[in-house]
Amino acid sequence: MHSGEMSVFPKISLKPEVTGYLRNVFLNKEVLAAVGPQEAESRFQKLLACLSHPPSSTCVRASTHLAPLEDIRLSLEEELKKQKCGSSAEEPSVQIAPHPRITDVLLLPVDGPRAVERLSSELVVDAQCGSAVLRGAHVFAPGIVASPKYMKAGDMVSVFSDLEGRCTRGATRFQGNKVFVGNGVAEMDRSAIFVTETPARGVGVRMVDPLYKSPSFDGVLPSMVFLQNLPSVVVGHVLAPQPGERILDMCAAPGGKTCHIAALMGDKGEVVALDRIRNKIDRIRQNAQTLSLQSIKAFRFNSTQAVSDEPTQEAEGPPFPPESFDRVLLDAPCSGLGQRPNMASTWSLKEICSYPPLQRKLFQAAVRLLKKGGVLVYSTCTVTLSENEEQVAWALSTFPCLSLQPQEPHIGSEGMLGAGLSPEQLRLLQRFSPELSWEQTDTAASLARRADTDTIGFFIAKFLKT
């Protein structure tokens, strides 16, 4: 990718109070003392720029509990070739590379931004759908908010993402803040999308000329590959569950990490998955079934209350007595500010600041549920200090039984300055910081190198309870 092309989209749009807050985080005293005001400001601006763009590679986790990685890689290549047969242009086949260090990861380059011409017919999708399209998805009908008045199946349309959620559902045009994400062919008439009693389902527009091209994984080898951001796969390896152990995943839905944990254990042992939201529990069960994993037990439960000193009647479900688990994963609910691409967030500062207290309640339960000698992994997909390094500092001072542990693999950067942690402690943390490599003109960098650095923003800490 060329540096000139890096910023096709404007920087992420946030409420001014949120931008101000984040700026104070990235230009905090410790950072300023270490790198100076110019570098700190530059990192912050790069963060805002890279968040609105998709990462330059796609990561899939392969079901190496079912087949060898190379077999899965070859099958995937075959499947993606078939996808190509439908498209007109003679293109080279997709390059799929195993990750050099992570034994169950396959990487695919994203081709973009590409030069795509806009058409006069405009279709508008909501921001969530727009982000999915930028990561290789087709447009699903529920994401469509506006379409040309006389749109028929088979028509070519230009697809735009409605950044601020301002477009009225069922509109025929939209003049507000939108960005172009590529061209596609409508699979449905307009009436099938908006004039129906039951909401339309399935693919509404098949993307044929997306701004960022990456294979669509919808329905592709569902038992063999699972789309997952690289840092999320790293979490499973850092937790390092062993066959036969009893593991707790406290905030588990939709179960990406739960399934990875069970797979790493060769499906031997028990993985208890909790989530507060009932219909999300079905997603965990579906994913476990698709990936042929039997060792996962999913329950709807508020994990802040998952520990109980009273002996319970129910043998296997929550709440659990203290010291019930060999390892605990707390993939905490968070402000999600590391997600990419994210062009606009309407969140208030109050919403963002509501997470640390909840994370601490969950953390307290996690520590109690963990056996002595057990491992606790805490992770978030956000970039604030208050949800990451400051939580680690709080945990270390609140629970003398906890000590920070080295992580394997460690491919992100170290923890960020600003929470009073020592250099040794920061080195034990893993922060994926896409802003640190953003706009490098290094077009020749290998796929793996780009995949390791051009990620979503993410944070991982590993503790041992003694």
Residues with a known catalytic role: 381
β-pairing verdict for 225-227 and 122-126: unpaired
What is the rounded radius of gyration, in angstroms, for the C-alpha atoms of the chain?
23
251 in a known ligand binding site: yes
- Measured from the CB atom, the residue of 229 and 425 that comes closer to ligand SAM is 229
Shortest-Cβ-distance residue relative to ligand SAM: 251
- Measured from the CB atom, the residue of 123 and 328 that comes closer to ligand SAM is 328
Beta-strand (E) ranges in 163-236?
178-186, 203-210, 225-227
Q: Binding residues for ligand SAM, per CB under 6 A?
A: 232, 251-257, 274-277, 280, 302-304, 331, 333
- Measured from the CB atom, the residue of 100 and 254 that comes closer to ligand SAM is 254
Instruction: Quote the least distance from Cβ 77 to ligand SAM, whole Å.
Output: 26
4 in a known ligand binding site: no
- Measured from the CB atom, the residue of 117 and 314 that comes closer to ligand SAM is 314
326 in a known ligand binding site: no
Instruction: Quote the least distance from Cβ 329 to ligand SAM, whole Å.
Output: 7
Q: Which helix (DSSP H) or strand (DSSP E) does residue 464 occupy?
A: strand 458-465
361 in a known ligand binding site: no
46 in a known ligand binding site: no
How many angstroms separate the CA atoms of 400 and 423, rounded? 19
254 in a known ligand binding site: yes
451 in a known ligand binding site: no
Instruction: Quote the least distance from Cβ 194 to ligand SAM, whole Å.
Output: 30
Please state whether 91 falls in left (phi above 0), alpha (psi between -120 and 50) or beta.
beta
- Measured from the CB atom, the residue of 301 and 438 that comes closer to ligand SAM is 301
CA distance readout (Å), 363 to 73, 331, 391, 394, 405: 38, 10, 9, 10, 17
Burial tier of 264 (Cβ tally within 10 Å: 0-12, 13-18, 19+): buried
- Measured from the CB atom, the residue of 123 and 288 that comes closer to ligand SAM is 288
Residue 344, beta-bridge partner list: 13
**Amino acid making up residue 227:** L
Instruction: Quote the least distance from Cβ 254 to ligand SAM, whole Å.
Output: 5
Instruction: Quote the least distance from Cβ 336 to ligand SAM, whole Å.
Output: 8
Q: Which residue in this structure is represented by tokens 């669509």? A: 216
Beta-strand (E) ranges in 250-395?
270-275, 296-300, 325-331, 370-380
Beta-strand (E) ranges in 40-150?
57-62, 97-98, 105-109, 122-126, 139-140, 144-146
Q: Answer whether 181's CB lies under 8 Å from 135's CB.
A: no
- Measured from the CB atom, the residue of 210 and 241 that comes closer to ligand SAM is 241
Residue 416 is classified by DSSP as P
Other Cβ atoms within 10 Å of 321 Cβ, number? 13
267 in a known ligand binding site: no
Instruction: Quote the least distance from Cβ 331 to ligand SAM, whole Å.
Output: 4
Encode burial over 209-222: b for 16+ CB neighbours within 10 A, e otherwise. bbbbbbbbbeebbe
171 in a known ligand binding site: no
Instruction: Quote the least distance from Cβ 111 to ligand SAM, whole Å.
Output: 27
Supply 411's token pair.
């491919």
User: ω into residue 318 within 30 of 0, thus cis?
Assistant: no
Q: Answer whether 118's CB lies under 8 Å from 132's CB.
A: no
Supply 141's token pair.
């009908």
Supply 359's token pair.
């994370």
How many angstroms separate the CA atoms of 210 and 206, rounded? 10
How many angstroms separate the CA atoms of 421 and 135, rounded? 36
Q: Which residues are annotated as a binding site?
A: 251-257, 275, 331
- Binding residue ranges for S-adenosyl-L-methionine: 251-257, 275, 331
